[in-house]
Every structure is written in C-alpha cells, then in structure tokens.
A = this chain, B = another copy of it.
C-alpha cells in the first residue's frame, strides 16, 4: 500500500518555512503499514497542484495533501480540488456554525472570508476540524483516496489522528511496517560499518539497514516493509539483538532516544540531581533537559553566566583566573561546574565556556573553541573541543559533547 504526501504553498518553495507536516503525516502512515512512496511540495498554482495530484492518484492508493485551505485569496487548494473532482462548492452547515462560534469566542467578526471556510466540494466527505476553521476533506476516485488537510500543524495533527487514520484503517487491509533503531556513540560511521559488515551482508533481503549519523551519535535503523505474520517480526527482533550484541559498549539508546534522555533516566533511577552552568551554550543544555517530562525530579538549577561579573558573583569563579587565563579556559570551566554544583547542592554539574562567534575568536582560541567541565562527587574533569564555525552548530555540538560527558560520568560512577 503506497502513499504520496503533497504539501502546498509558495512559502515552502521559497524556503520561508520548514515543512514539519509531512514528517508527522509520514509517521502516522508508516505506523499503520502504509509506505510513503514520495513527498512533494508545489506552489499555490492551479496547474502545479493539478499535475501533482493527478500523478499521485495514478501511482498510489492514498494521497494526503496539506496546505492552501486558508480564507485568503492566495489559498486555492479547495477550488482546485472541486474542479479536479468535477464538483460544486456547497455550504456545510455544521462547519459554518462551528467557524462562527470559534471566531465569536476570539472576538472576531464572521465576515465573507470566514463564511467561505464553510464551503466544501459537494462530492467530498467533510472531516470535522474541532481545532480550526478549515475542515479536512476526503475524496475517492477509482478506488484511490485523496485527503486534503489544513496546513496549520496542530490542526493537521488532530485531523490525521482522529479522522484520517481510523478511516484509512477501515477502508484498506493494511500490512505491517517494522522499524527498530539502535543509537550508538563513540564509533565513526565507517568504523561501525566495518565492524558489523559480516552481519549486515548476511541480512535477509526483506530487512534494510540504514546509517543515520548526527552530532555525537550514529543511529542504525533496521526496517522491514509491508511484512506479514509473526515470523518477520521475530526475525527483525532476532537480528536487532544480534546487532546489539556485536557493539554493546557503543549502544546509548533505542528508537528515538537522545543522550539527554539517557542521562535523564540514569539520574531519575538513581535519585541523583543535576545543575548546569552555561556560557556559550546559552541555556541550550538546560532546555534539552527541562523539555523532558519529569525533569523537575533531578534538575535543580541552570545558570546562563554570559557576563564575566555573573561568573564571579553567582558561580564564584575567581576574577583573577578570568583575567589570567581568559573566560574560555580550563580553569574557568572547572570553577563554573564546581560553582553551580555547590550553589544548587547538586550531585552532578556540567559547565560550558566557549566562543560561539561570529566574533571574539583569536588565533589561540578561534571561534568554536569550547571548554567543557563535569563536576561529580568523585571530582571534576574538563576537556577542550572544537565545535565548528557556525554559531548554531557550535551551540548544538558543545551541548551534545557536554551531555555526552555527563553520560560517561554517570556510566562510570
């Protein structure tokens, strides 16, 4: 069972927005055993929309379209779909009432543009959008299904989950897709591939292995598409176990787990606490932990000590050391980690101080130089890392290194 995802909007083609809708739609379809064959983005242009949809209807059983359903003139998806399916636009009473009520709650008048939100092609099944004003629409032609959803991520997500997926599962007999992901750290992609080559070469044809490198980790994904019965599920589990057994010391997690989730779990299980002192990472490390539900059980305090005066007054860094060694130095990183650990009364602490750029670099300490220190009940360790040349990249990499060092400290504790 194949699907095409089409996202519509000039803002996608000029790079004004990042398309996260198709990611979420792809996950929903995959989880139900529908293979996404192609993802396609086209502009708010009648000809392009028609061509993309006709091609999708020819090649796939399911087509999911998002975007272009707003009330303004630039949004033409609904009119185009009505023409394509040879259907007139008619007012849907339930949608009309819903839109008027939603707008009234926000103190917005029900004008002609809003009224047009309740117009739908007569031939479609309306998918009620409880969270927004543009309804979803379900069309069928020659056994193919086309669904049109609004582009607002939150509304699209609810419609996919509550309306589209249950209908697709009822409409088609779907098979299984199984993905298992092993997250590794400490071995480069090429080294990893060499290490597991005999196992990879002997994989059955229906199992596909993918390497997904990201800062600090390489993810290995084992996939079986459209499988039937228990035996394939068992085989993928068996192979996944075999893979894990070959590289146990490099495994840091499974599926979508991140290194911070690994640290989160270890701290939670052991009842230990954490504090963070950040200069160049500017709150990114604190954010990564506090984004996880339950972080308040161990995350006591983060200090973003951008100003040197704050490093001294809040964290107790020695001003003479800042003057002598510079704010980006082993001495300052160590004192920041130890200072925030003491301040918060935490078991573990991590600190970063570096040059995030674009200015501030010198020959001895170029942009991207970051000192990272981890303070534990057993003592403090510090390392210097080159984290790249771009401000965002430096923050990401330094955060990843720092969290990786925390994990190592916890693993060895």
Chain A interface (Cβ within 8 Å of chain B)? Answer: 9-20, 22-27, 30, 35-44, 48, 52, 70-75, 103, 106, 108-109, 111-114, 152, 154, 157, 177, 179, 181, 188-191, 193-194, 200, 208-213, 221, 223, 256, 276, 278, 281-287, 289-291, 293-296, 299-307, 309-310, 313-314, 343-345, 356-360, 388, 390-393, 395
Contacts and interface: CB of A to CB of B under 8 A. Distances in A.
A223 B14 CA distance: 10
Given A296-B360, A302-B303, 6 more contacts: A70-B213, A74-B209, A75-B211, A154-B388, A276-B304, A283-B283
A-B pairs with lowest CB-CB distance, top 5: A282-B290, A283-B286, A302-B304, A15-B26, A283-B283
Interface-centre pick from A14, A302, A343 (highest chain B CB count, 10 A): A14
A189 B221 contact: no
A358 B22 CA distance: 24
Nearest to A359: B293
A204 to B, nearest CB: 15
B209 A73 contact: yes
Nearest to A157: B390
B282 A113 contact: no
Given A73-B209, A190-B114, A210-B10, A301 B290 contact: no
A179 B14 contact: yes
A111 B209 CA distance: 20
A270 to B, nearest CB: 17
Nearest to A358: B293
A305 B301 contact: yes
A37 to B, nearest CB: 8
B15 A24 contact: yes
A19 B17 CA distance: 11
Contacts of A285: 283
Contacts of A16: 179, 181, 212, 221, 256
Contacts of A310: 300-301, 343-344
Contact of A393 (B154, B290, B314): B154
Given A106-B188, A210-B10, A283 B287 contact: yes
Contacts of A108: 188, 190-191
Contacts of A295: 282, 306
Contacts of A18: 18-20, 23
Contacts of A283: 278, 283-287, 290, 302, 304
Contact of A293 (B15, B22, B114, B357): B357
A88 B388 CA distance: 34
Nearest to A153: B393
Interface-centre pick from A20, A283, A284, A307 (highest chain B CB count, 10 A): A283
A203 B73 CA distance: 12
Given A26-B15, A313-B343, A304 B301 contact: yes
Contacts of A358: 293
27 contacts: A10-B221, A14-B177, A16-B181, A40-B40, A71-B189, A72-B189, A73-B200, A108-B188, A157-B390, A276-B304, A278-B283, A282-B289, A283-B284, A283-B290, A283-B304, A286-B286, A290-B306, A291-B391, A291-B392, A295-B306, A299-B304, A300-B309, A301-B303, A301-B304, A301-B307, A302-B302, A307-B344
